[in-house]
Amino acid sequence: MSNISPFALTPEISALVTGAFDSGNVLLLAAVDRHGKPVLSFRGSTAVFSDTQLSFWARNAEGGTIDAIKANPHVALMYRSPSVPLLQFAGRARITGVPEERDRAFDLSHAKEREKDPDRKGRAVIIDLDEVKGVLGFGKDGPILAHLVRG
């Protein structure tokens, strides 16, 4: 029996997320608050938590993003850069209090993001991905598409 998930982030997609802060292409997070209104925020601390999960560190533990996730766990993220036209991620976010997950989400975030919360007063958010889609670039035969869906 294989340990490989049928849904897994590719190394190329993982590298884009991991390098997003340094390349100036931080991911945009979309959530919906308890009133059904959109909440958008750039997340420089977004990281690959596993081959099926992303994470981010929310420095403001009582902010609008955290409140929105508590009300509705469905979120979407978008990656865009000059070389990668568009990647969209969709999944379910959860705020974790599990010490190991919390520490790992903080440690995975970019050093410049960690420096802004040295006392770790923020919250760790884990996103269980359901879908990744978009255009990774263009080859000689046209667009290079990405489309991963959790079965």
**Residue 6: which pLDDT band, with cuts at 50, 70 and 90?**
low
pLDDT higher than threshold 80 for residue 5? no
Residue 57 falls inside a structural domain: yes
Buried b (16+ CB within 10 A) or exposed e, 48-68: bbeebbbbbbbbeeeeebbeb
**Residue 27's domain is classified under what CATH number?**
2.30.110.10
Residue 5 falls inside a structural domain: no
Residue 2 falls inside a structural domain: no
Rounded average pLDDT over 111-117: 97
Residue 32 falls inside a structural domain: yes
Please state the domain count of the chain: 1
Residue 86 falls inside a structural domain: yes
Range of the domain at 94: 11-149
Claim: this prediction has a pTM higher than 0.95: no
Residue 3 falls inside a structural domain: no
